[in-house]
């Protein structure tokens, strides 16, 4: 089963101001508007939204059927 990337984007949109570390669960299989999306494209979309919110990835942990991404406030430069 594919998980809609739109729901992960809503989670990112709901994050507080980037003042601390947060974690986001990203399922292995994602879809966009009902169509399968390659993982690299999906991650590019998600990281772009994270950067817009002031966060950047800071590692991940693999769990069954997903990755838990740690995100920290983005550093300039």
The domains of the chain are located at: 3-73
Whether 77 shows a pLDDT value over 70: the answer reads no
Whether 1 shows a pLDDT value over 70: the answer reads yes
* Structure confidence by residue, pLDDT tens digits, 48-69: 999 999 999 999 999 999 999 9
Percentage, residues of the chain above pLDDT 70: 97
Instruction: Please indicate, yes or no, whether the overall pTM of this predicted structure exceeds 0.85.
Output: yes
* Structure confidence by residue, pLDDT tens digits, 7-37: 999 999 999 888 899 999 999 999 999 999 9
What span, in angstroms and rounded, lies between the C-alpha atoms of 66 and 40? 14
Nearest 10 degrees: CA dihedral of 55, 59, 63, 64? 80
């Amino acid at each position: 089963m594919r998980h809609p990337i739109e729901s992960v984007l809503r989670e990112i949109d709901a994050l507080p101001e980037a003042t601390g570390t947060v974690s986001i669960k990203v399922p292995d299989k994602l879809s966009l508007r009902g169509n399968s999306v390659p993982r690299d494209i999906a991650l590019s979309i998600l990281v772009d939204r994270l950067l817009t919110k002031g966060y950047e990835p800071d590692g991940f942990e693999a769990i069954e059927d997903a990755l838990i991404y740690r995100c920290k406030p983005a550093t300039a430069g």
